[in-house]
Amino acid sequence: MTALKLGTRKSLMATTQSQGVADALTRLTGRAVELVGITTEGDVSKAQLAQMGGTGVFVSALRDHLLSGDIDFAVHSLKDLPTGPAEGITLAATPRRDDPRDALCSAPLPSPHPPGGLPKLADLPRAARVGTGSPRRVAQLKALRSDLEVVPIRGNADTRLRKVTGGELDAVVLAYAGLRRIGRMDDVAEIFEPDQMLPAPGQGSLAVECRSDRADLRELLATVDDPATRAAVTAERTVLAVLEAGCSAPVGAYAAVQDHGREEQELHLTAAVVAHDGARQIRLSASGHPGDAERIGRGLAADLLALGADQLMGERE
């Protein structure tokens, strides 16, 4: 039996997470999987993500290869997926979610500061330069410390971390899940809890896509799907879709399924829209059955809009 072809971006982080899905699929089904590296528009452009048209720049090339039959399925970081449906393509699996939180990676403070661990956000000097390419992180960093100089950056995790070790920046904020996947946990100074910094919808999760007409493949890929993860990210991404927000909007959302005894589960969702300068935010929560994930997300987004979230998203410094 021929190996299945898995399309992935070529970065270390992308190939590492794709290999994890491939290994799980082989373990559960016995099917061999071959990784196929694909270059996307987002990988070659030096522009900021919002200037390139949003998250789809990391996805469209992989989807083109899916539709042409060059690959059998593709693995993406779920937060890279546009919220709208893609004709001819289905989300076949959302594997169990990794840690969704954001992490601060900082450089040791110069003497006369005492030696010790890496400085946390509160320990950084006044007007410290902190790098991130995410408006969501910019807004929430400003809410935590209005004195920070937040610097827009691009590139893979190694490129961003070198800006810290090279002295160009005091710190950067990255997804903790990605740092863990590439073995860079020693660079982490602080992990932000969701009440400090809400993650991006779908952060820490992977998306496995295939063609809609491949029923056999959809059934095979379903073996690596995690229902709790799917419910959580469905709620989060529904908030984003109803708000009509993309990568340029300061929107955070996090949902998790909690067990309350035998066969009793509850999905808890929190979402926030934060002003770009961090001065104001609208933050709400909702709960319900995991099977109602989309309804919960729609309801919470409607409540956010009723409180003026659309005006807050439209404001600029």
Asked whether the predicted pLDDT for residue 41 surpasses 90, the reply is: no
Asked whether the predicted pLDDT for residue 42 surpasses 80, the reply is: no
**What's the pLDDT score for residue 115?**
52
Is 310 an active-site residue? no
**What's the pLDDT score for residue 198?**
97
Asked whether the predicted pLDDT for residue 57 surpasses 80, the reply is: no
Q: What is the mean pLDDT of residues 132-144?
A: 95
Residues 140 and 173: beta-carbon distance below 8 Å = no
**What's the pLDDT score for residue 43?**
53
**What's the pLDDT score for residue 52?**
42
97, 129, 136, 237: which is the annotated catalytic residue?
A: 136
Q: What is the mean pLDDT of residues 85-101?
A: 96
**What's the pLDDT score for residue 282?**
97
**What's the pLDDT score for residue 116?**
57
252-300 pLDDT per residue, tens = 999 999 987 667 899 999 999 999 999 999 999 999 999 999 999 999 9
Position 53 confidence tier, pLDDT thresholds 50, 70, 90: very low
User: How does the average pLDDT of the chain come out, rounded?
Assistant: 91
Is 186 an active-site residue? no
63, 72, 80, 210: which is the annotated catalytic residue?
A: 80
Asked whether the predicted pLDDT for residue 121 surpasses 70, the reply is: yes
**What's the pLDDT score for residue 46?**
53
**What's the pLDDT score for residue 236?**
97
At how many degrees (to 10) do helices 227-242 and 293-306 cross?
Answer: 30
166-215 pLDDT per residue, tens = 999 999 999 999 999 999 999 999 999 999 999 999 999 999 999 999 99
Residues 254 and 285: beta-carbon distance below 8 Å = no
129, 160, 181, 211: which is the annotated catalytic residue?
A: 160
Is 79 an active-site residue? yes
pTM over 0.85: yes
Q: Which of 70-79, 142-151, 262-271 has the lowest mean pLDDT?
A: 262-271
Distance CA 143, CA 137 (A): 10
Q: What is the mean pLDDT of residues 27-36?
A: 97
**What's the pLDDT score for residue 247?**
65
Is 180 an active-site residue? no
Q: What is the mean pLDDT of residues 41-69?
A: 70
Q: What is the mean pLDDT of residues 47-65?
A: 69
9, 79, 142, 163: which is the annotated catalytic residue?
A: 79
**What's the pLDDT score for residue 122?**
96
Tell me the HSE value of 101 on the side-chain side, using a 13 A CA sphere: 13
**What's the pLDDT score for residue 32?**
97
101, 137, 184, 237: which is the annotated catalytic residue?
A: 137
Distance CA 138, CA 250 (A): 8
Amino acid at residue number 87 = E
- Which domains can be identified in the chain, with CATH numbers? 1-95+205-225 (3.40.190.10), 102-192 (3.40.190.10), 227-317 (3.30.160.40)
**What's the pLDDT score for residue 47?**
47
CB atoms within 10 A of CB 20: 16
Is 237 an active-site residue? no
**What's the pLDDT score for residue 171?**
97
Q: What are the DSSP calls for the chain, one per residue?
A: -PPEEEEE-SSHHHHHHHHHHHHHHHHHH---EEEEE---HHHH--S-GGGGTSGGGGTHHHHHHHHHTS-SEEEEEGGGS-SS--TTEEEEE-PPP----EEEEEPPPPTTSPS-SPP-GGGSPTT-EEE-S-HHHHHHHHHH-TT-EEE---S-HHHHHHHHHTTS-SEEEEEHHHHHHTT-GGGEEEEE-TTTSPPPTTTT-EEEEEETT-HHHHHHHGGG--HHHHHHHHHHHHHHHHTT--TTS-EEEEEEEEE-STT-EEEEEEEEEE-TTSS-EEEEEEEE-GGGHHHHHHHHHHHHHHTTHHHHHH---
